[in-house]
Amino acid sequence: MTFWIISAALALLLAALFALALLSRRAGAEHPAAYDLRIYRDQLKEVERDLARGLIAEAEAGRIRTEVGRRVLAADAQLSRAEAKAEQPRALTAAAAVLLALSLTGGAFALYARLGTAGLGDLPHQARLQAAETLYANRKSQAAFLARLPAPSAPPQEAGYIALVERLREAVAQRPDELQGQQFLAQSEARLGNYAAARAAQSAVIRLKGDTASAGDFVTMAQMYITEADGYVSPEAEAALRRALKADRTDPVARYFLGQMWLQNDRPDRAFSLWSQLLSQGPEAAPWIAPIRQSIEDIAWLAGVEYTPPAPRETAADLPGPSVQEIESAGEMSPAERQEMIEGMVQRLNTRLATEGGTPDEWARLISAYGALGDTGRASAIWKEAQQRFADTPDALETVRRGAARAGVDQ
């Protein structure tokens, strides 16, 4: 009720101000004809004084009286017409003021009735948090969410590749405890869009590694859930991400996807906490930085935080990071398009390191990125190449090893 009283008072006050502006005249404003009349009357008085003092003759005084009198009559007629015009539309002006007041108040309430939510109660901070917790607790499982999506279409593959995967399936079925075979199978099934089979193989990878399973192994599992659900972070995907952070609480990919999950469950404050840290830590070329930089200011606003994103610490000349156009378009992309953009960025880095070489940090970043994309085979191959390249520089090799550890291929 208080809302309606305040709204009505504000609408009436605004309407009254407009009406007052229409009905009132400008204070101190005077028609030019009124000023001329005063001048002409003073001139007539001046003529009489000059005549009495003998400064002008009677004939000259008569001529001046006639001329000034003519001007007085003209000015008086002009002033009369102006006053008549000012009084004539007074009633119309009042009617326009009333109509304006009705339009402002009635139109405002009609617009609110159409666009607003009449009767909606207040949403204090605690109530919003409780609603978000309820949303989070009752969100759909992976299977329930997938049931709402259209049937997925398998990406086209060459017949030779499909036949190769068939042989790989047979080989893994005969030797289920062979780690490398399960790794290749998980990667191959995911590429074919067979995410249930890919997760089964990845579960076998984690089982075979046991206590040595890395954060990258669990992140790979989570990404299979998330990619299959078109970006939705289900409870099953969250469980895999939590296990990744238990193995390595600093894993950036797990933190990125947890931030995405909190956004989906109306907790921008938690998403901002995770993503702002990732943005400040960099590196700018990391595949998760572009989508974060695109949306972090909006997330900060939703979280009620005053925030200015840090400037990129690396330039395009230093690292093959995303272009300005890629950063601007990342927020408008679907998860599949964003994934394709990320893969393209990683491939550019791979090409540059293969042809021009690079720093140990860049090698570590490339291996970590392929691990995050679920391409552990390529991450492992690059790690082996890096071991040969940096064999004589233990410090540099240790830097690359950390990237391999994040990807889960540092065996």
Per-residue pLDDT tens for 185-217? 888 888 888 899 999 999 999 999 999 998 889
Residue 119 has pLDDT above 50, yes or no: yes
**Residue 312 confidence (pLDDT):** 76
Domain assignment present for residue 373? The answer is: no
3 state SS of 27:
coil
pLDDT at 115: 66
Q: Is the peptide bond before 310 cis (omega within 30 degrees of 0)?
A: no
Residue at 59 is within a domain: yes
Q: How far is CA 335 from CA 31, 227, 327, 332, 406, in A?
A: 70, 8, 14, 10, 23
197 alpha carbon, distance to own chain's centre? 36
Predicted pLDDT of residue 237: 95
Looking at mean pLDDT, say which of 52-56, 145-149, 319-323 comes out highest: 145-149
Give the pLDDT mean for 84-102: 63
**Does residue 49 belong to any structural domain of this protein?**
yes
Q: What is the pLDDT of residue 262?
A: 94
Residues 247-276 have a mean pLDDT of: 92
pLDDT, mean over the chain: 78
Task: Provide the 8-state DSSP code for 310.
Answer: P
Does residue 40 belong to any structural domain of this protein?
Answer: yes
pLDDT at residue number 65: 76
The interaxial angle of helices 195-209 and 215-228, nearest 10 deg, is 170
**Host H or E run for residue 18:** helix 2-23
**In terms of DSSP H, where are the helices of 116-229?**
125-137, 142-148, 159-174, 179-192, 195-209, 215-228
Looking at residue 43, its pLDDT comes to 77
Identify the band that residue 150 occupies on the pLDDT scale cut at 50, 70 and 90: confident
- What pLDDT is stored for residue 236 in this prediction? 95
What six digits make up the tokens of 191? 């590429």
Q: pTM score > 0.95 for this model?
A: no
Residues in Cβ contact with 255 at an 8 Å cutoff, skipping those fewer than 6 apart: 245, 274, 277, 278
Task: Name the pLDDT band for 243 (thresholds 50, 70, 90).
Answer: very high
**Could you give the number of structural domains in the chain?**
1
Whether 187 is covered by a domain: the verdict is: no
**Count of beta carbons in the 10 Å neighbourhood of residue 93:** 13
pLDDT for position 379: 85
Q: What is the DSSP letter of 9?
A: H
CA 311 – CA 282 distance, rounded (Å): 11
In this predicted structure, the answer to whether residue 399 has a pLDDT above a threshold of 90 is no
Write down the residue that tokens 């954060």 correspond to: 215
Identify the helix (H) or strand (E) that includes residue 5: helix 2-23
Residues near 109 by beta carbon (within 8 Å), at least 6 away in sequence: 7, 11
Residue 130: name the closest of 265, 301, 275 by CA.
265
Asked whether the beta carbons of 345 and 372 are under 8 A apart, the reply is no
Scored b (16 or more CB within 10 A) or e, 33-53 reads: beebbeebeeeeeebeeebee
Average pLDDT over residues 373-396: 82
Angstrom CA distances, 218 to 69, 214, 236, 265, 309, stand at 105, 7, 11, 22, 30
Q: How many CB atoms lie within 10 A of CB 12?
A: 13
What pLDDT is stored for residue 16 in this prediction? Answer: 73
Of residues 364 and 240, the one with the higher pLDDT is 240
Q: What integer pLDDT is reported at residue 116 of this predicted model?
A: 62
Does some domain include residue 132?
Answer: no
Q: Are 282 and 289 in contact (CB under 8 A)?
A: yes
Residue count (the chain): 411
Distance between CA atoms of residues 408 and 390, nearest Å: 19
- Chain centroid to Cα 222, Å, comes to 25
Position 259 scores a pLDDT of 94
Tell which residue, 163, 221, 228, 171, has the closest CA to residue 195: 228
What pLDDT, on the 0 to 100 scale, is given for residue 316?
36
Q: Name, of 2-11, 13-22, 155-164, the range with top average pLDDT.
A: 155-164
Residue 46 pLDDT: 81
Per-residue pLDDT tens for 322-347?
444 554 455 555 666 666 666 777 77
Q: What is the pLDDT of residue 318?
A: 43
> Between 93 and 133, whose confidence is greater?
133
- Residue 253, pLDDT above cutoff 70: yes
Return the higher-pLDDT residue of 394 and 18.
394
**64 domain-assigned:** yes
Residues 253 and 219: their CA atoms lie apart, in Å, by 7
354 band by pLDDT with thresholds 50, 70 and 90: confident
Arithmetic mean of pLDDT, 10-17 = 72
CA distance 220 to 411: 17
Which structural domain range is residue 37 located in?
Answer: 33-76
Look at residue 27 and tell me whether its pLDDT is greater than 50.
Answer: no
pLDDT of residue 38: 75
Kindly state the percentage of the chain with pLDDT values over 90: 20
pLDDT score at 23:
58
Note whether 409 and 367 are within 8 A (CB). Answer: yes
CA gap 265, 364 in Å, rounded: 33
Q: Which residue has the higher pLDDT, 11 or 235?
A: 235
pLDDT at residue 374 tops 50: yes
Residue 57 forms part of a structural domain: yes
Q: Which carries the bigger pLDDT value, residue 29 or residue 182?
A: 182
pLDDT at residue 19, as a whole number: 66
Judged against a pLDDT cut of 50, whether residue 28 lies above it is answered with no
At 38-80, the pLDDT tens digits run 787 777 788 777 777 777 778 787 787 788 777 777 777 776 7
Mean pLDDT (whole number) for 174-180: 91
